A = this chain, B = another copy of it.
């Protein structure tokens, strides 16, 4: 008869018994199909109640360590493999090479925002208000496209900043543009060829490749992506940033825009993804109207993000789909829950509606202009025009530097 020391060590008796039996099975001291004591006998032997034994047996049964035969009793299960206690996993984990965030003197990375630039106290205030006043809405599951109120706020923003007339139903909110690209692949099909600008923003390429989608490249001339290059690669989808190309800063003129739209109109599967990532920060003149606004054939998908204009640690982006694609989205992809929490969607919505977003944009535009001037002045003071050429474009956040050097770009990187 099994005998265990059921001392009062503060743990429930049934748990102690469960663990004793389990340990004996694990160690092979109790063998497959071996009969266990009846509940009554076991209880008497150990000086505990029948209910305690029953609870221990129930747990062992639920976990498959033992089984019962009607009117016969409890037996040890036949386990496929011996259960070995091990802490191997914890040691093995050290093989994980987590990328280290390097400290640099000059951080020119394009996907970060400066801590001081984010209007933290205003955002915190609006968030506090949201938590206090919106409890009910915060707990309501929003539609797949996002909280209605936020989408309406984005509509007004797009109307006044980008001259776009958009219905809130066309807007899909998601946790970052990277996530939205993934949705778009599902919406447009992973059997299409996606054409990117060369040179271009490397992450877009990584995302398409990671989805095992065929990627092609089209070169640029001084007006942006070349139409003949797009045609050459038989692409259906052109993923471009016409307002401000990264990294050259080229702004695509209106004639090239119409050529692109005309290309897209030639085939029903052709679409243009217009990445408008930093249009808010155009430094001179009014921002250019987006391709989306002159598209009359429902061929342009507009994408923009608040992670760039506010702070990269808030993950809110959105895309504007042409009518028939919005309809397709709700037909085929609306089983997806919106990836942004309602707490942040309502906070951003209030932030825009109360005018804070516009103020922030205006403040940042001045700020970026000053910073840019300062950096350029520093570079000019340090290098001669022969050593280093600055290729400026007024349309946004970045500019190109061309060094006369024998060093390879890999070395500098």
Q: Which residues of A contact B (CB under 8 A)?
A: 15, 55, 58-59, 62-65, 77-81, 83-84, 86-90, 92-99, 101, 111-113, 115, 118, 120, 124, 127-128, 131-132, 135-136, 138-143, 145, 165-167, 169-170, 175-176, 178-179, 182, 186, 190-191, 203, 206-207, 210-212, 223, 251-259, 261-262, 284-286, 288-289, 294, 296, 298, 307, 311-316, 322-324, 326-327, 330-344, 394-395
17 A-B pairs with C-beta separation under 8 A: A63-B289, A64-B223, A64-B253, A90-B167, A93-B167, A96-B326, A97-B330, A99-B330, A127-B343, A140-B313, A182-B182, A207-B335, A313-B343, A314-B342, A315-B339, A341-B341, A343-B343
Known pairs A63-B253, A257-B64, A339-B179; A324 contacts B88 (CB<8 A): no
Known pairs A97-B330, A131-B127; A77 contacts B253 (CB<8 A): yes
Cα–Cα, bound, A90→B165 (Å): 6
Not counting A127-B131, A176-B339, a sample of 14 additional A-B residue pairs whose C-beta atoms are within 8 angstroms of each other reads A15-B286, A62-B251, A62-B394, A79-B255, A79-B258, A89-B166, A90-B165, A95-B323, A96-B330, A115-B139, A124-B132, A128-B131, A139-B311, A186-B211
- Pairs of residues from A and B, 10 with the lowest C-beta to C-beta distance, nearest first: A64-B253, A64-B254, A93-B167, A80-B258, A175-B339, A313-B342, A92-B323, A175-B175, A115-B139, A96-B169
- Which B residue sits closest to A109, measured CB to CB? B141
Cα–Cα, bound, A208→B266 (Å): 32
Cα–Cα, bound, A210→B331 (Å): 12
Chain B: minimal CB distance from A249 (Å): 12
Q: Are B339 and A339 in contact (CB under 8 A)?
A: yes
Q: Are B98 and A332 in contact (CB under 8 A)?
A: no
Contacts of A284 in B (CB 8 A): 58
Cα–Cα, bound, A165→B79 (Å): 23
- Which B residue sits closest to A142, measured CB to CB? B313
Q: Are A62 and B288 in contact (CB under 8 A)?
A: yes
The quantity of this chain's copies bound in the complex is 2
- Which B residue sits closest to A135, measured CB to CB? B120
Looking at the complex, which one of B65, B312, B315, B322 makes contact with A254 (CB distance below 8 Å)?
A: B65
Q: Are A81 and B261 in contact (CB under 8 A)?
A: yes
Contacts of A127 in B (CB 8 A): 127, 131, 343
Q: Are B337 and A111 in contact (CB under 8 A)?
A: yes
Cα–Cα, bound, A190→B190 (Å): 11
Q: Are A124 and B131 in contact (CB under 8 A)?
A: yes
Chain B: minimal CB distance from A396 (Å): 12
Cα–Cα, bound, A77→B59 (Å): 80
Q: Are B64 and A255 in contact (CB under 8 A)?
A: yes
Cα–Cα, bound, A175→B169 (Å): 22
Cα–Cα, bound, A93→B284 (Å): 33
Contacts of A339 in B (CB 8 A): 175-176, 178-179, 315, 339
